[in-house]
Structure 1
Amino acid sequence: MLVDENAQIGGSLDYQYANDASVADTRSELKEAVLNNENIEVHTSSVAVGWYTDNWMPINTPNGIIKVRAEQVVMATGLFEQPSIFHKNDVPGVMMASAAQRMIARYAIKPCEVAAMVVANEDGYRAALDLLKAGVKINAIADLEDHEDRGDLAKQVKAQGVQIYDHHGIYEVEGKDRVTSATLCPLNASGELDTSRKTTVPCDGVMMSVGWAPATHMLFQCKADIKYDATIGQFRAQSLPEGMFAAGRVNGVFDINDQIADGAGAGQQAAAAAKGESADVQRPEPTKVSQSHEYPIFSHPKAKNFLDYDEDIQLKDYINAAKEGFDNIELIKRFSTNGMGPSQGKHSNMNGIRILAKHTGKSIDETGSTTARPMFHPTPVGHLGGRRFRAERVTPMQESHVAHKAVFMEAGAWLRPEYYDTEATRTESIHAEVNAVRTGLGIIDVSTLGKIEVFGPDAPEVMDRICTMRMSNMQVGMTRYALVTDEAGVITDDGVVVRYADDHFYYTTTTGSSDPAFRTLQKQILEWGLKAEAVNRTGQLQAMNLAGPLARKKLAPLTDIDLSEEAFPYLAARTGTMYGKPVTLARVGFVGELGYEIHCLAGDAAEIWNNLLRDCADAGIRPFGVEAQRLLRLEKGHVIVTQDTDGLTNPYEAGMPWAVHMKKDFFIGQRSLEILKPLQARKLMGFMFPESYSGGTPKECHLLIKDGELNGRITSVSFSPTFNRYLGLAYVDDMNANVGDAINVRLDDGTLVEAELVSLPFYDPEGKRQTCDVDGTEGKVA
Structure 2
Amino acid sequence: MMPARLPAPMGLLIDRERPLSFQFDGQTYQGLAGDSIASALLANQRWLLSRSFKYHRPRGPMTMAGEDANTLVQLPGAPNTLADVQPLAAGQDVSAQNVNGSLERDRNAWLGKASRFMPVGFYYRSFYKPKGAWKLWEPIIRKQAGLGVLDLTLRPDYHDKAFVFADVAVVGAGPAGLQAALSAAEAGAEVLLIEQQAYLGGALAWSRFALDAEAAGQLRQQLLQAVSEHPKIRVMTQATCNGWFTDNFLPVIQGQRMHKVRAQQVIVASGAYDQPVVFHNNDLPGIVLTSAAQRLMRLYAVKPGERAVVLTGNDHGYLAALELLEQGVQLAALVDLRSAPHDPTLLEQLEARQVPCHLHSTVYAASAGKAQGRIDSVEVRAISGRGTVSETAAHYACDLLCMSSGYMPAYQLLCQAGAQLSYDDEHAAFRLQQLPANLHIAGSVNGFHQLDNVLADARRAANAALSGLGQPTPAEDNFTEEPGCNADWPLFAHPKGKEFVDLDEDLQIADIINATRHGYRDIQLVKRFSTVGMGPSQGRHSALPTARLVAAATQRSVSETGVTTARPPFVAETLAHLAGRSFDPYRQTPLHDRHTAAGAQWMPAGNWQRPAYYGSPGSRNESMQAEALQVRNGVGLIDVSTLGGLDVRGPDAAEFLNRFYTFAFVKQPVGRSRYALLTNEQGVVIDDGVCARFADEHFYVSATTSGVEQVYRQMLKWNAQWRLDVDIANVTSAFAAVNLAGPLSRQVLEQAGCDLDLSATAFPYLEVREGKVAGIPARLLRVGFVGELGYEIHVPARYAGALWDVLMTAGAEAGIRPFGVEAQRLLRLEKGHVIIGQDTDGMSHPGEIGMDWAIARKKPFFVGKRSIEILEAHPAKRRLVGFRLPAGSAQPLEGHLVLEGDNISGNVTSCEYSPNLQAIIGLAYCSPGQASPGQSLSIRVAGGQLVQAEVIKPPFYDPDNQRQEL
- Structure 2, unmatched stretches of 5+, are 1-20, 31-63, 68-73, 79-83, 115-139, 151-195, 199-239, 241-269, 306-326, 328-367, 376-504, 539-565
* Aligned match of 1:114: none
In the TM superposition, 1:69-108 aligns within 5 A as 73-74=87-88, 78-82=94-98, 96-97=100-101
- For 1:510, which of 687, 694, 704 is the aligned residue? 704
Amino acid in the other structure paired with 1:693: S
Please tell me whether residue 543 in structure 1 is matched to residue 737 in structure 2.
yes
**Change in 2 beyond 3 A, CA 1:329/1:571:** closer
Q: Secondary structure at the match of 1:744?
A: strand
- Give the alignment partner of residue 963 of structure 2, picking from 762, 769, 778: 769
For 1:478 and 1:633, locate their aligned partners in 2 and report how far apart those are by CA, in whole Å: 22
CA distance in 2, matches of 1:447, 1:616: 20
Q: Is the 1:74–1:244 Cα contact (8 Å) retained in structure 2?
A: no
- Contact preservation (8 Å) 2:601, 2:617: no
Corresponding residue to 1:692 among 860, 885, 888: 888
The answer on whether the counterparts of 1:326 and 1:332 sit within 8 Å (CA) in structure 2 is yes
> Which string of whole-angstrom CA distances, capped at 9 and with x for unpartnered residues, describes residues 115-172 of structure 1?
xxxxx95688xxxxxxxxxxxxxxxxx9979xxxxxxxxxxxxxxxxxxxxxx99xxx
**In structure 2, C-alpha distance between the alignment counterparts of 1:484 and 1:734, rounded to whole Å:** 24
- Pick one of 613, 627, 650 that aligns with 2:808: 613
Name the structure 1 match of 2:208: none
Once the two structures are overlaid, the 10-residue window that deviates more, 618-627 or 577-586, is: 618-627
Question: What is the aligned partner in structure 1 of residue 686 from structure 2?
Answer: 492
1:242-261 deviations in whole A, cap 9, x for unaligned?
A: 997699xxx99xxxxxxxxx
For residue 685 of structure 1, report the CA deviation from its aligned partner: 0.8
Q: Deviations over 1:490-543 (max 9, x none)?
A: 223211122223443322222244444345445655655655444443232221
SS in 2 for 1:555: helix
Q: Is the counterpart of residue 464 in structure 1 residue 478 in structure 2? A: no
- Which letter maps to 1:679? H
Is structure 2 residue 677 aligned with structure 1 residue 663?
no
- The letter for the 2-side match of 1:541 is F
* Per-residue deviation, residues 729-755 of structure 1 (Å, max 9, x unmatched): 222232563122223334576555443
* Deviation for aligned residue 1:679: 1.9
Say yes or no: does 1:625 pair with 2:639.
no
Distance in 2, matches of 1:745 and 1:398, equals 39
State how far apart, in whole Å, the 2-side matches of 1:318 and 1:718 are. Answer: 65
Tell me, yes or no, if the aligned pair for 1:218 and 1:372 is still in contact at 8 Å.
no
Are 2:797 and 1:602 equivalent residues in the alignment?
Answer: yes
Tell me by how many angstroms 1:479 deviates. 1.8
The one-letter code matched in structure 2 to 1:761 is: P
State the AA in 1 paired with 2:797: A
- Answer yes or no: is 1:740 the counterpart of 2:934: yes
> Judging changes above 3 Å, is the alpha-carbon distance between structure 1 residues 333 and 81 closer, same or farther for their aligned structure 2 residues?
farther
* In 2: Cα distance, 1:293 partner to 1:714 partner: 66
Contact 2:23 2:93 in 1 (8 A): no
1:395 is aligned with what amino acid? T
Give CA-to-partner distance per residue, 1:360-398, whole Å, 9 cap, x none.
xxxxxxxxxxx9997988843x64131279975432212
Are positions 1:707 and 2:721 aligned together?
Answer: no
Q: 1:490 to 1:224 in 2, by over 3 A?
A: closer
Q: Summarize the Cα distance change of 1:61–1:728 in structure 2 as closer, same or farther, 3 Å threshold.
A: farther
- In 2, distance between residues paired with 1:512 and 1:536? 14
Q: Which amino acid aligns with 2:884?
A: M
Deviation per CA, 1:610-662: give whole Å up to 9, x if none: 33234334444333333332232122211112222233322111101111121
| Matching residue within 416, 426, 434 for 2:610 | 416
Does the aligned pair in 1 maintain the 2:893–2:910 contact within 8 Å?
A: no
Q: Could you say if the C-alpha distance between residues 323 and 241 of structure 1 is closer, same or farther in structure 2, counting changes exceeding 3 Å? A: farther
Residue 679 of structure 1 aligns to a residue whose secondary structure is coil
- Judged with a 3 Å threshold, the aligned counterparts in structure 2 of structure 1 residues 447 and 293 are, in CA distance, closer, same or farther, namely same
The corresponding residue for 1:648 is 843
The corresponding residue for 2:911 is 717
The alpha-carbon deviation at position 557 of structure 1 amounts to 1.3
Matches of 1:720 and 1:51 in 2, distance apart? 67
Aligned counterparts of 1:719 and 1:627: Cα–Cα separation in 2? 12
- The question of whether the paired residues in 2 share the 8 Å contact of 1:393 and 1:413 is answered with yes
Which residue of the partner structure matches residue 304 of structure 1? none
1:404 to 582, 598, 603: 598
Residues 911 and 922, structure 2, Cα contact 8 Å, conserved in 1:
yes
Deviation at 1:551, TM superposition (A): 1.8
Contact 2:898–2:937 (Cα < 8 Å) also in 1: yes
SS at 1:563 equivalent: coil
Query: Deviations for 1:398-454, whole angstroms, at most 9, x for unmatched residues?
Result: 222333344444444433334445353444444443343334332222122222333
Partner SS state of residue 401, structure 1:
helix
Q: Would the aligned equivalents of 2:75 and 2:93 in 1 still touch at CA under 8 Å? A: no
Contact 2:614 2:820 in 1 (8 A): yes
Partner AA of 1:638 in structure 2 = H
1:218 to 1:765, Cα distance in 2 relative to 1, 3 A:
farther
Alignment match of 2:640 (pick from 408, 429, 446): 446
Aligned to 2:924: 730
SS of equivalent residue, structure 1 residue 729? strand
Which amino acid counterpart does residue 883 of structure 2 have in structure 1?
Answer: F
1:437 corresponds in structure 2 to: 631
- How far has the Cα of 1:581 moved from its partner? 0.9
Give, in whole Å, the separation in 2 of the partners of 1:736 and 1:329. 58
3-state SS, counterpart of residue 480 of structure 1:
strand
Q: Secondary structure at the match of 2:823?
A: helix
Which residue is 1:591 aligned to? 786
Identity of aligned residues (%): 41
C-alpha distance 564-327 of structure 1, shift in aligned 2 (>3 A) = closer
CA contact (8 A) 2:898 2:926 kept: yes
- Structure 1: how far apart are the matches of 2:726 and 2:273? 67
| Matched residue SS, 2:705 | coil
What residue in structure 2 maps to residue 679 of structure 1?
A: 874
Q: Using the alignment, how far apart are the partners of 1:396 and 1:625 within structure 2?
A: 16
Query: 1:340/1:52 Cα in 2 relative to 1: closer, same or farther (>3 Å)?
Result: closer
The alpha carbon displacement at 1:670 in A equals 2.9
Q: Which residue of 2 aligns with 1:478?
A: 672
Amino acid at match of 1:73: P
CA contact (8 A) 1:412 1:512 kept: yes
In the alignment, the residues of structure 1 paired with residue 85 and residue 22 of structure 2 have an alpha-carbon distance, to the nearest angstrom, of 24
- Structure 1 residues 730, 229: closer, same or farther in 2, change over 3 A? same
Partner SS, residue 762 of structure 1: coil
Correspondence list, 1:138-217, <5 A: none
TM-score normalised by structure 1 residue count: 0.56
Q: Distance in 2 between matches of 1:761 and 1:455?
A: 35
CA distance in 2, matches of 1:625, 1:515: 23
Amino acid at match of 1:628: A
What's the CA shift string for 1:714-734, capped at 9, x where partnerless?
333344444455432222232
Contact 1:232 / 1:290 at 8 angstroms: preserved in 2?
A: no
Q: SS at the partner of 1:652?
A: helix
Matches within 5 A, 1:556-595: 556-558=750-752, 559-595=754-790
SS of the residue 1:74 aligns to? coil
> Could you say what secondary structure the match of 1:738 adopts?
coil
Distance in 2, Cα, partners of 1:452 & 1:756: 40
Q: Contact 1:711 / 1:734 at 8 angstroms: preserved in 2? A: no
